Structure 1
């Protein structure tokens, strides 16, 4: 099992177009995808808070991360964003002629949450050597993650071009900004 997990992590990083095909072939039940999504968000939240407890972060001058963000608030926010992203990626992809289903997109979004937890966990470990290097690595992984999402969206919806995947990602981003502004704002305390 661990070998398959490691192989899929490596495949996702090196050849995301092939990774989405393996993910689709799993045909995971929707309830399993939801459980993986929640697990990934939970592990990411733990890793993020462990890192900022050990290495406090100032997000604004005089304002510490832990002063404004709670573990529960971050977990809820990340869960809402991930679930909404899955719905919007499905909707946007279908609007641009894609064939993907919510179950398929939810599975790949859940996998990306697991991947994020792996990155956050690795970032925590690297923080002990160099906090700045860990932050840089996490941010670079996030940027590369956009490429992975594009490949996953292309494969999930069976698009013939990366341009359609990019278009659906832009539509998703616009929708996500609207949803976040309506749903997440009450959980943010300043």
Structure 2
């Protein structure tokens, strides 16, 4: 598979996530290759985050942003979050009658992250050319992330209803957000809130 094939697969995934899932499964990647894909996505994302931080240093820094400014911690956090996401997608999907596997969930999470890495690179370039576009690009990337996660989870498990998958996604985000806030509180990691 060359860069042109990757580009075609990316476009196909954005246009028709179910077909993108079928094509990814058709690659028949080994589990080691899927883990390698995940590690590559994390490394590229961490490198781009570090580059963005050097080019556009934050005006203020709280405990959370200071923690995330260390590349190793950011990479570990991203890697852990992706594994947790794959487990959650697999377990919750199967609890509702889906038939997706953890192996395929890892593949899809890694692929979505690689697509987001491409958007992250575009965001950095746009910020250099048009600094005011950063917020817009962030919203676009967030929207694409949610769209792909919901659509590919639906295809992964063979679900028919987008609405049910969306409700499951929203509920899971709230539960995970609560759990992560409790963990952050236990370690004393809080974003500072202006009075």
TM-score of the superposition, structure 1-length normalised?
0.86
Alignment root-mean-square deviation, CA: 2.4
**Residue-by-residue CA offset, 1:4-33 (whole Å, 9 max, x unaligned):** 101011112222222112112222222211
Unaligned runs of 5+ in 1: none
Confirm or deny: 8 A CA contact 1:34 1:106 kept in the other structure: yes
**Residue-by-residue CA offset, 1:15-65 (whole Å, 9 max, x unaligned):** 22221121122222222111111111111111112112111123xxx4278
Q: What's the counterpart of residue 40 of structure 1?
A: 41
Q: What's the counterpart of residue 124 of structure 2?
A: 124
1:59-138 to structure 2, matched below 5 A, reads 62-63=60-61, 67-69=66-68, 70-138=70-138
Q: Secondary structure at the match of 1:3?
A: helix
Please state how far the C-alpha of 1:120 moved relative to its aligned partner. Answer: 0.9
Please state how far the C-alpha of 1:178 moved relative to its aligned partner. Answer: 5.3
Confirm or deny: 8 A CA contact 2:184 2:190 kept in the other structure: no
- CA–CA distance in structure 2, aligned partners of residues 31 and 184 of structure 1: 31
> How many residues align structurally?
187
Distance 1:153 1:34, change over 3 A: same
Bigger shift: residues 81-90 or 26-35: 26-35
